[in-house]
């Protein structure tokens, strides 16, 4: 039987009652509400933080003609991207592909953005295409602790963009927790993206760590411009992955519901698939 682990809300409490009725295979999609989380129990927190009335319902039959429908309120930062999100949930689109399309709905020409984990450079390149304009404004800051990752990113940029665009990118051999050290003073950032785990094609024993990821999220929160986005792809199929996800959820649980709207998505029936998390700072 398929499961649809989709969470939409400003927080995740420590304990949740599933929104999935596996006996009927109907799914409820809650959406964010600006409420206080001062209940006396995790269950109180959960009940008060989501709408019990579904914006739409979803039927999954497990057949090849499965149909999933997601409807979001018009004031949702993801409104209009429902089909894209469904494609990810059903495993038809990759996490990075979905992330890039969500970024495009937020990032503007001339913005300052950060790739907190450069990896092979594909996110860095995507960011550059979003911020670069004819006047050569916009800035992309890329960080990674592995020289191999920075070399791969540099090579990809060398092959893909011209000299004027390359001037907009600055790469640093630094931990993502120190991203504020590379920014000019009083710089506001529109997007900070994390692609956690290990370097694809690299040493799988070198992974992002919960402690430094938490510090990085705190920094990202402090430099984010209203209307900006913290985008996270979490890989849980390696040692430490689930621990890092728990750390991220704990961080999110402490965010102000008056200032942030948070979403989490995962592909159905694939417990080890990457998890997409979007943290939108309200305008």
- Domain range for 250 is 7-281
User: Is 158 within a domain?
Assistant: yes
User: Is 1 within a domain?
Assistant: no
Grouping H, G, I as helix, E, B as strand and the rest as coil, residue 129 is: helix
pLDDT in tens, 147-206: 999 999 999 999 999 999 999 999 999 999 999 999 999 999 999 999 999 999 988 899
| Measured distance CA(96)–CA(214) in Å, rounded | 21
The contacts of residue 257 (CB under 8 Å, 6+ apart) are 10, 11, 32, 33, 34, 35, 36, 37, 49
- Does the structure show a pLDDT above 50 at 12? no
pLDDT in tens, 268-282: 777 789 999 999 999
Tell me the CA end-to-end span of the chain in Å, nearest whole number: 40
User: Is 206 within a domain?
Assistant: yes
User: Is 2 within a domain?
Assistant: no
**Cα–Cα distances in Å, from 190 out to 118, 131, 237, 283?**
17, 10, 30, 12
Determine the number of helices (DSSP H) and then strands (DSSP E) in the chain. 8, 11
* Mean pLDDT of all residues in 54-62: 33
* Mean pLDDT of all residues in 116-144: 94
Provide the number of structural domains found in the chain: 1
Q: What are phi and psi of 274, to 5 degrees?
A: -60, 150
CATH code where residue 87 lies: 3.40.50.150
User: Is 189 within a domain?
Assistant: yes
User: What integer pLDDT is reported at residue 135 of this predicted model?
Assistant: 79
pLDDT in tens, 218-266: 999 999 999 999 999 999 988 999 999 999 999 999 999 999 999 999 9
User: Mind giving me the DSSP string for 212-254?
Assistant: HHHHHHHHHHHHEEEEEEEEEEE--SSTTHHHHHHHHHHHHHT
User: Is 11 within a domain?
Assistant: yes
- Does the structure show a pLDDT above 50 at 55? no
This prediction's pTM: 0.80
* Mean pLDDT of all residues in 19-36: 30
């Amino acid at each position: 039987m398929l499961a649809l682990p989709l969470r939409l809300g400003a927080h995740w409490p420590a304990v949740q009652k599933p929104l999935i009725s596996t006996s009927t295979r109907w799914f409820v999609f809650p959406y964010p509400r600006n409420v206080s989380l001062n209940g006396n129990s995790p269950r109180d927190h959960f009940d008060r933080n989501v709408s019990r009335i579904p914006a739409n319902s979803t039927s999954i039959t497990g057949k090849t003609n499965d149909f999933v429908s997601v409807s979001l309120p018009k004031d949702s930062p993801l409104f209009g991207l429902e089909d894209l999100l469904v494609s990810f949930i059903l495993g038809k689109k990759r996490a990075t592909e979905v992330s890039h399309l969500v970024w495009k709905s937020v990032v503007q020409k001339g913005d300052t953005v950060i790739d907190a984990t450069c990896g092979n450079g594909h996110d860095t390149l995507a960011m550059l295409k979003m911020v670069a304009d004819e006047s050569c404004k916009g800035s992309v800051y890329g960080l990674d602790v592995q020289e191999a990752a920075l070399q791969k990113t540099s090579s990809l940029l060398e092959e893909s963009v011209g000299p004027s665009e390359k001037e907009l990118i600055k790469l640093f051999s630094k931990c993502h927790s120190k991203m504020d050290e590379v920014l000019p003073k009083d710089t506001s950032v529109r997007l900070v993206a994390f692609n956690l785990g290990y370097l694809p094609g690299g040493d799988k024993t070198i992974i992002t760590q919960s402690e430094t990821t938490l510090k990085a999220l705190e920094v990202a929160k402090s430099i984010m411009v209203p209307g900006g986005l913290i985008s996270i792809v979490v890989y849980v199929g390696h040692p430490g992955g689930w621990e890092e996800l728990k750390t991220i959820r704990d961080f999110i649980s402490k965010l102000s519901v008056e200032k942030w709207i948070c979403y989490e998505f995962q592909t159905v029936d694939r417990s080890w698939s990457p998890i997409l998390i979007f943290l939108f700072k309200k305008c």
